[in-house]
Amino acid sequence: MDTNGKLFKKFLERENKISDQFSSENAKKQHAKGKLTARERIDLLFDKDTFEEIDAFVTPATITSKFGKITESYGDGVIVGHGKISGRLVFNYAQDFTVMGGSLGTVHAQKIAKIQKMALKMGAPIIGLIDSGGARIQEGIASLAGYATIFKNNINSSGVIPQISVIMGPAAGGAVYSPALTDFIFMTNKTSYMFVTGPSVVKEVLNEDVTDDELGGAMVHCKKSGVAQMMFEDEEQTLQGVRKLLTYMPSNNMENPPVILNPDEIPEFNEKVRDIVPDDPNKPYDVKEVINQIVDPNTFYETSENFAQNIVVGFARLNGNTIGIVANQPKVLAGTIDINSSIKGARFIRFCDAFNIPLLTLEDVPGFLPGVDQEHMGIIRNGAKMLYAYTEANVPKITVILRKSYGGAYIVMNSKNIGGDFNFAWPTAEIAVMGPDGAVAIIYKRDLAASDDPVTLKKELVKTYRDEIANPYIADEKGYIDEVIDPAITRKKLIVAFEALQNKHVATPAKKHGNIPL
């Protein structure tokens, strides 16, 4: 034992020192802000006792300048390692705000870069828990170079392994671009914020008074800017949300998503679905009700819930298999496609395509959002993003037209001719170049003007238009729709159809990469 004692003396000393560093005093400081410590977060994120830390004892780089000083500490303000989430390998880095404000120095950056490279090599997801004051000023250019390496690794891993950023404190300046390059950003309400320039600079340059939360809080990024996808009220729930999201995705782009079967038997014939879409075509409804009736119970996981609510995107399971859902939301802006919803949809579609997640489109779209605002902001180039993303995606793609399907928006929403594998329609579908009112006003402009009773004439013409053109049967007869189906059997139809598409393979012409209208 004595010999052991000699050999392990230094080892124990270091262990004691590091546990002092993570003492309850530092934890109290974090708790006082309503935040958890980096270690507590890791404990919540990973399966019990599965996290393995590496590089715990690295020390910060020494600085030669006389400007500022560097606190002696182990780990340099970041914990990196790997563990298991739902039994699957996941890499992680967690910034520690209690060590020099979680600022990013050379060694800190090297640790993150190392774990990023490891995650890419092993083909496992990486999660970044971000709580950092930004670049370490004392270390100057070296910390900026550190950021650059992290960004480069982010881009190298993009589309190969899922990357998730969880903002749990400040992320300011250059630091915001690493999360921005990853697939999903989670934020905790009231204690996390992101901005390129902070309130003090805004005050200095523009003389505007704004708080951290108003400038770049979770609410702002999830509702207005669309920077972040998910917002939770609490850190514990945020981390639970991350765990849940990971169950829908494969570990890398060569694998398929995990299959999690629902223990209960789900009826194949569901009459409730028939009653959701109202008879009056001008009445809104919540498309999420349709989604929840079709997919496995309680499996719908919506992302970007509060941003561009006129399109609903999210993951769900159908007979245990992950699918990505894109659905127009008639409840908001009549379900029209505008700039934000196109960008939101396009990004989601590309994520699904990159990670072998089949796509289901539920369509009820009256068209693109009209207006000077939209045209001047570039609805043309922005609307093209979703069109490009849909067409480019070569995962199995199925569309169900629930109600309206008009004009350019019909084409964009995964129509047969841009590559929809199966296109179904409900009997309530209206597929045409434009809605009845618009069509009648254009084709019968003179007749209406000359008529003694334009209202009755218009009504008659609208009826004729619906009977002759705006229904699913014409498209069915011409082969643009594969089948008009009873809403009650939608679930069964989809399960069978996705099964048939399981081994879909598309050969694409060799190219470096396409030129998506960014």
Partner 1 sequence: MITELKEKRQMRFGRNSKKELKKLIAVNTKRKKFEFTLPFSEHLNLNGKESEVLIKEDEKHGTYLLWKNKKYPVEVIYKNQNRYEILLNGISYIYTVETPTSYKRMRFLASKSESKKNENLEAPMPGKIVEILTEEGRDVRAGEPLLILEAMKMQNEIQAPISGHIKKIYIKQGQSVLKDDLMVEIHVGK
Catalytic residues: 173-174, 408-409
96 binds partner 1 (CB under 8 A): no
Q: Biggest alpha carbon distance in the chain?
A: 111
334 binds partner 1 (CB under 8 A): yes
The encoded tokens of residue 243 equal 């765990």
210, amino acid identity: V
40 binds partner 1 (CB under 8 A): yes
Please identify which residue in 246, 333, 402, 432 interacts with partner 1, judged by CB under 8 A.
333
Residue 506 CB, nearest approach to partner 1 (Å): 36
Quick check: 102 and 263 in contact, CB under 8 A?
no
With helix as H, strand as E and coil as C, how does 220-271 read? HHHHHHCCCCEEECCHHHHHHHHHHHHCCCCCCCCCCCCCCCCCCCCCCCCH
What is the CA angle 365-369-373, rounded to 5?
170
Please identify which residue in 75, 258, 330, 358 interacts with partner 1, judged by CB under 8 A.
330
Backbone φ/ψ region at 140: left (φ over 0), alpha (ψ -120 to 50), beta: left
Please identify which residue in 283, 478, 512, 513 interacts with partner 1, judged by CB under 8 A.
283
452, amino acid identity: D
The encoded tokens of residue 214 equal 């108003």
The encoded tokens of residue 439 equal 């069509």
Please identify which residue in 75, 128, 174, 335 interacts with partner 1, judged by CB under 8 A.
335
Helices (H) and strands (E) in the chain, counts: 20, 17
248 binds partner 1 (CB under 8 A): no
Instruction: Name the pairing type of β-strands 311-318 and 301-303.
Output: antiparallel
The interface region with partner 1, picked from 92-100, 147-155, 279-287, 355-363 by CB under 8 A, is 279-287
232 binds partner 1 (CB under 8 A): yes
Nearer Cβ to partner 1, position 30 or 356?
Answer: 30
20 binds partner 1 (CB under 8 A): no
Within 8 A by CB and 6+ apart from 92, the residues are 42, 45, 46, 51, 80, 81, 82, 83, 115, 126, 127, 128, 129
Nearer Cβ to partner 1, position 370 or 378?
Answer: 370
19 binds partner 1 (CB under 8 A): yes
Q: What is the DSSP string of 54-105?
A: ESTT--PPP--SSSS-----SGGGEEEEEEEETTEEEEEEEE-TTTGGG-B-
435 binds partner 1 (CB under 8 A): yes
Quick check: 79 and 94 in contact, CB under 8 A?
yes
The interface region with partner 1, picked from 103-111, 197-205, 327-335, 497-505 by CB under 8 A, is 327-335
What is the CA angle 504-505-509, rounded to 5?
150
452 binds partner 1 (CB under 8 A): no
Nearer Cβ to partner 1, position 241 or 345?
Answer: 241
48 binds partner 1 (CB under 8 A): yes
For residue 487, the tally of other CB atoms under 10 A from its CB is 24
The interface region with partner 1, picked from 98-106, 235-243, 381-389, 489-497 by CB under 8 A, is 235-243
Please identify which residue in 4, 417, 508, 515 interacts with partner 1, judged by CB under 8 A.
4
The interface region with partner 1, picked from 49-57, 60-68, 267-275, 340-348 by CB under 8 A, is 49-57
- Applying CB under 8 A, the site for partner 1 has a residue count of 46
160 binds partner 1 (CB under 8 A): no
Quick check: 367 and 408 in contact, CB under 8 A?
yes
Q: Which residues pair with 302 in a beta bridge?
A: 314
Please identify which residue in 18, 122, 144, 196 interacts with partner 1, judged by CB under 8 A.
18
12 binds partner 1 (CB under 8 A): yes
The Cα–Cα gap between 470 and 232 comes to: 43
75 binds partner 1 (CB under 8 A): no
Within 8 A by CB and 6+ apart from 363, the residues are 327, 328, 399, 400, 401, 402, 405, 410, 413, 414
275 binds partner 1 (CB under 8 A): no
Residue 436 CB, nearest approach to partner 1 (Å): 10
Residue 330 CB, nearest approach to partner 1 (Å): 7
Nearer Cβ to partner 1, position 212 or 305?
Answer: 305
Within 8 A by CB and 6+ apart from 68, the residues are 137, 138
* Element of type H or E holding 423: strand 422-425
The encoded tokens of residue 336 equal 């029209």
Nearer Cβ to partner 1, position 322 or 336?
Answer: 336
Please identify which residue in 21, 53, 55, 215 interacts with partner 1, judged by CB under 8 A.
53
212 binds partner 1 (CB under 8 A): no
Look at the chain and count its residues. Answer: 518
429 binds partner 1 (CB under 8 A): no
Restricting to residues 291-320, name those near partner 1 by CB under 8 A.
305
Please identify which residue in 236, 441, 492, 517 interacts with partner 1, judged by CB under 8 A.
236
5 binds partner 1 (CB under 8 A): yes
Q: Name the nearest CA neighbour of 357 among 449, 507, 255.
A: 255
Placement of tokens 């990023």 in the chain: 116
The interface region with partner 1, picked from 4-12, 130-138, 445-453, 486-494 by CB under 8 A, is 4-12
Residue 19 CB, nearest approach to partner 1 (Å): 6
By the criterion CB under 8 A, which residues form the site for partner 1? 1, 4-5, 8, 11-12, 15-16, 18-19, 34, 36, 39-40, 42-44, 48-49, 51, 53, 56, 190, 232-237, 241, 282-284, 305, 330-336, 366, 369-370, 435, 437
